[in-house]
Chains A and B, each alone.
Chain A
Amino acid sequence: MTEPICNRYEFVLFFEVENGNPNGDPDAGNLPRIDPETGLGIVSDVCLKRKIRNYVEIAKAGQPNYNIYVREGAVLNKQHLTAYEALGIKSESKKLPKDQEQAKKLTGYMCANFFDIRTFGAVMTTEVNCGQVRGPVQIAFSRSIDPIVQQEVTITRMAVTNANDAEKERAMGRKHIVPYALYRAEGYISSHLAEKTGFSDEDLALLWQALMEMFEHDHSAARGKMSSRKLYVFQHETALGNAPAHKLFDCVRAERIDKARPARAFADYHIELHQDKLPGNVKVLELL
């Protein structure tokens, strides 16, 4: 394993959806999530985390240290984990190690083996504080740049499920789509927490890759066409950072070019990075 990262990072990811539902709202019959006050579309933090996990599971299939703990049935490979290295906790029946130490070891083992625990953290059943990991990577809710339109599309199927519906010959169904929307996600990476979970530069590179390519492996009937469009990474010089996050995020603006027409493609947006507003000692990497 390589060393944990030693810089603070923030990132802004722009991703688009075309004729699809990026994240359904279980409270609204799976309509695309929407902020009722502004009409802007929302994609939850956990939705993107799920895609990152799925991507890593595909990209690093079967590699030790890159297992994914929280899995989805679709990508569930029935490969059971075996121990990679017994950490030498001897079962000394008379001398149990202190609960705290034991918990630390268990947590350390999980961090070393599972990418998603190293990255996002996890909670273990142990009551001690070491049974709980705060991961370095924090992702907020994503929001669309403009208000979204939730379109309902009625579809028919030329077959029925139940035998007693046989004379009906067809079933009707509904799909909810957003014709087009550009979403903006913001995230934070703490180097101090990375130190605790062992989140390394390699892990970071994998995370960037996942952010850029996660939609490529997530196609489905519901999603439509989704893709990552722009990824800006702000790299601070130090672990503590050199500038307030909100000032960095303000340097990246996305605007619709023609306000009179609704946006239907990425080309309808103009994304600009205001280098002049950027505080010193923070590097911007335009990864996509």
Chain B
Amino acid sequence: MISVYYFGAIALVLVGLYGVLVKKNLMKILISLSIMETGVNLLLISIGYVSGKSAPILSEGVKWNQAVDPIPQALVLTAIVIGVATTAMALSAAILIYEKYGTLNVEEIRRLRG
């Protein structure tokens, strides 16, 4: 039986991918991209989960061998920041596109061709 965490994370990735492929509105595409990134981050976190262990912070009452895998958490922290940066960049490009084209429909944004 596949774990519900893995299933949920991959489902989020697929939902995001579906949105990117099918939606016509640029903002919806960017939202789908964010959903996809969230799914990836959840997958990374769930790979590091060890059943029944606590957060990897050394404090009283928690020994070093009672923590979940701390590495994916570092990876996700990085990946979240990268995702936000990409989204910010994409949104500023979307603003520019709306100024120049007057639309956010991807089928009408077609000045480059060949």
A, B: real partners = no
